[in-house]
Amino acid sequence: MLTTGEVAARLEVSEREVRRLAARGVLSSRRIGGAHVFDPADVARVARQSRSPGRLWSARTAWAALELLTGLDTDLVDQPRRSRLKQRLRSLDPERLHRLAAHRAEVFRFHASERGASRLRQMVTPTGVSSLEDDHEARQFGLVQSAESRRVDGYTRGPLDDIVRRCRLVLNAGGNATVRALPAGLRVDHLLGTLPVVAVDLMDSEDVRERSSGRDMLERLTREL
């Protein structure tokens, strides 16, 4: 097990950021002898998903990029930035795009009971693995439609505390429920469920096939720009 300081060193962040990630359920921790300790495998997962040289995009830029990948124009950024962003998207590989768009939402991971997962599914807009429950969507990603399961992934603008209470969610980095809180002030609801958004969220998955399907879709969409 790793201490808070050791995790901070591995992720190249402050100890305060490590505590924040634990509070959001991104990292799982246990309390031993008055100190929080962390599983090295869990830390390696977060490092793989979040480490990226240079600055990440702001939420606004990330959503502007995803809107451009739908084949539409975007008014989230001005024309000069829009042109530069489109040009950059053409040269990005899916892994780099996925990392740059990490700030598109604040992500919380929970454990949910079967009943809680069913209730949560009604309270969020599906993305990632939850989108694959639709047969047409699953086929677009080259995957077999997944039957409704306890895994849930979705976006919300609602009060998170209310969702946690009503669905009896428990913070857990390895849990079966992912809730993505949309940034305030950005009108991006029309993009939820679109191919680039589902694809970039699938790349958060620990399932190799799901992650690969998201990567393949982003690669195709960038080629079509």
Model confidence, pTM:
0.81
- Residues 127, 133: Cα–Cα separation, whole Å: 10
* Cα angle 76-81-85, degrees, rounded to a multiple of 5: 90
Q: Which residues pair with 36 in a beta bridge?
A: 31
Q: Which domains does the chain have, with CATH numbers?
A: 1-51 (1.10.1660.10), 102-223 (no CATH)
Tell me whether strands 125-126 and 35-38 are parallel, antiparallel or unpaired: unpaired
pLDDT tens track for 126-160: 999 999 988 889 999 998 876 666 799 999 998 89
Which is nearest to 201 in space by CA: 112, 144, 141? 141
Task: Give the mean pLDDT of 201-224.
Answer: 94
Residue 124 phi, psi dihedral angles, 5° rounding: -125, 160
List, for residues 75-126, the tens digit of each pLDDT value: 999 999 999 999 999 999 999 999 899 999 998 889 999 999 999 999 999 9
User: 164: pLDDT confidence band, cut at 50, 70 and 90?
Assistant: very high
Question: No. of H helices and E strands in the chain?
Answer: 12, 8
Which position has the token pair 């989108």?
A: 131
